[in-house]
Copies of this chain bind each other. A is one copy, B any other.
Amino acid sequence: MNLMNRLRRYLPILEWGAKYTSRTFTNDLLVAGIVTVMLIPQSLAYALLAGLPPEVGLYASMAPLILYAIFGTSRALAVGPVAVASLMTAAAAATIASQGTPEYLGATIALAAISGLLLLAMGLLRLGFLANFLSHPVISGFITASGIQIAAGQLAPVLGIDAHGESFVDVVQSMIPNLGNINPYTTVIGIASLVFLFWVRSGLKPLLLKFGLSERAADLLAKVGPVVAIAVTTAAVWGFGLSEQGVKIVGTVPKGLPKFSMPPMELSLWAKLLVPALLISIVGYVESISVALTLAAKRRQRVDPDQELIALGMSNFGSAVSGGFPVTGGFSRSVVNFDAGAETPAAGAFTAIGIAMATLFLTPLLYFLPNATLSATIIVAVLSLVDLAAIKQTWHYSRSDAAAMITTILLTLVEGVEIGLLAGVGLSIFLHLYRTSRPHVATVGQIPGTMNFRNRDRHDVVTDPEILSLRIDASLYFPNARFIEDYINQAVAAESTVRHVILECPAVNTIDASALESLEAVNARLKDGGITLHLSEVKGPVMDRLKRSHFIHQLTGKIHLTHFDAVSSINPELARRALESADTR
């Protein structure tokens, strides 16, 4: 029984598989058909973006989908190659070898393997919280910058010129001298595809609705637009013999299923790829889990974040052993999956079968597919990731969050994805520590007619010149311990009548060893001056810990349940009079 429960936890397929019906099967099959049509051009395009041969994109769209169907907990998530992870893969692999070499391909496979193992380890060790260190502004800024960089990079194939580089700035600089070599045929195909795809996004759906299609059908049809662009431009290249005019085409895509083999295992290679693989894993996971949670919430389904790590880990490792590159749950495909009505993860497995059929039978049709069209589909897809409005919105809400976001964007554009992301994470942690290093401290007094104490600068309150009541609006820990120590010393020095200091601690969620040391120092200094130190409203967990310290014995005053109790114990007369006063409330 225990074993069965465990198996169920790690193999969600046992849960939904047991309830699988022929109706669910028909439905999942239909969904898989739609997603397959959408995934073929995407997988080719993202392989191109990652600097890899097209078949690698197809390989990454088979084994991972089947493994996710076995291990995943989301019913709608569609796993496979995605734009941002492909860009990060290209950046990391470029540090190992140049595009087109077997070493480059080996590096991307190794990235998928390392990512897979890292995600698996994070899932088994329940380290999913690591993903939380990517704050929302940082991930949002990073995705915006990646979108801009990808779009800029894909402009080159659209124009039929070369571009390379690890950052937006590099890519643009490398394009400029080549602007004279624009290929007119390629440009026509590329720009026409771009215009068509943008129109499909914005103009087609209203038109279809006008023709009486349902909202859902119009949405789905609009999503298969890229297939039309691909069919038309492929036919044009073939019909007019444009590949002889310098239009770059996909060419021979090897027929057949991927061969399974172990990924490259050299230790030195793994050591070099560890940090990029970790970043790819975390960015991929954050993207994937937020899509999964959002879609699950709409249908009241559960998604287990730790099991999702395991599922993505298996998918990536599966991608690696079948010759693919890093994968994750993609936003647009998952939404299509969801809208089309995917009922179980089996839809993903059927999609994998669809892709397998395509690699077996359709690859000759892809021979004349122009790269420019694939690049156009990437540009249209990634521009939806760019969210510049978020900068303004974040700035409006919090300057420091906006600073982390802008830093991430600028450094990603100028220095590349790794430095941009790491700097963003580092800065957001630093800014948080900085903010908490100078916490808010309020001098409080009793609100007449109540037992409540409030900031004396904001309210009319009753105070006793002998009692200094300080409410500390922060946990006490090393970044602010010395600040609080200094604050109390100065506050006491400024009010010569003070004989008692009471620290009101409802917002103190923790007191670490540094802060305890500071409190001991404050207590000792106040004692030297004949002033007693009291605490009030100390929380249960904080109190439990204080009981294990020397501080509690050294404390010159007492620890009181409420601030009113504390003041009453020192000046019962005043506290009672203030309480009975009907001044306010």
Give A contacts to B, CB under 8 Å. 129, 131-137, 293-294, 297-298, 300, 302, 305, 393-394, 396-398, 400-402, 428-429, 432-440, 455, 458, 473-475, 477-483, 486, 489, 493, 506-507, 509-510, 512-514, 516-517, 521, 524-525, 528-529, 539-541, 545, 548-550
B429 touches A512 (CB 8 A): no
Chain B contacts of A525 at CB under 8 A?
A: 297
Q: Which residue of B lies closest to A135 (CB)?
A: B478
Q: Of B305, B402, B432, which contacts A477 at CB under 8 A?
A: B432
Chain B contacts of A493 at CB under 8 A?
A: 302
Q: How far is the CA of A525 from the CA of B137 in the complex (A)?
A: 21
| Given A440-B509, A548-B396: A297 and B432 interface contact (C-beta under 8 Å) | no
| Given A135-B478, A509-B439, A509-B440: A539 and B298 interface contact (C-beta under 8 Å) | no
Chain B contacts of A548 at CB under 8 A?
A: 396-397
Q: Of B137, B305, B486, which contacts A513 at CB under 8 A?
A: B137
Q: Which residue of B lies closest to A438 (CB)?
A: B129
Q: How far is the CA of A137 from the CA of B517 in the complex (A)?
A: 10
Chain B contacts of A510 at CB under 8 A?
A: 435-436
| Least CB distance, A337 to chain B, in whole angstroms | 19
Q: How far is the CA of A480 from the CA of B475 in the complex (A)?
A: 15
| Given A129-B483, A509-B474: A489 and B297 interface contact (C-beta under 8 Å) | yes
28 inter-chain pairs at a CB distance below 8 angstroms, sorted by A residue, are A129-B437, A129-B438, A129-B483, A134-B478, A135-B477, A135-B478, A135-B481, A137-B513, A294-B521, A300-B529, A305-B486, A396-B549, A397-B516, A397-B545, A397-B548, A398-B512, A400-B512, A428-B478, A429-B433, A432-B477, A432-B478, A435-B510, A436-B510, A439-B509, A455-B540, A473-B509, A473-B541, A506-B507
Chain B contacts of A549 at CB under 8 A?
A: 396-397
B135 touches A512 (CB 8 A): yes
Q: Of B300, B458, B475, B480, which contacts A540 at CB under 8 A?
A: B458
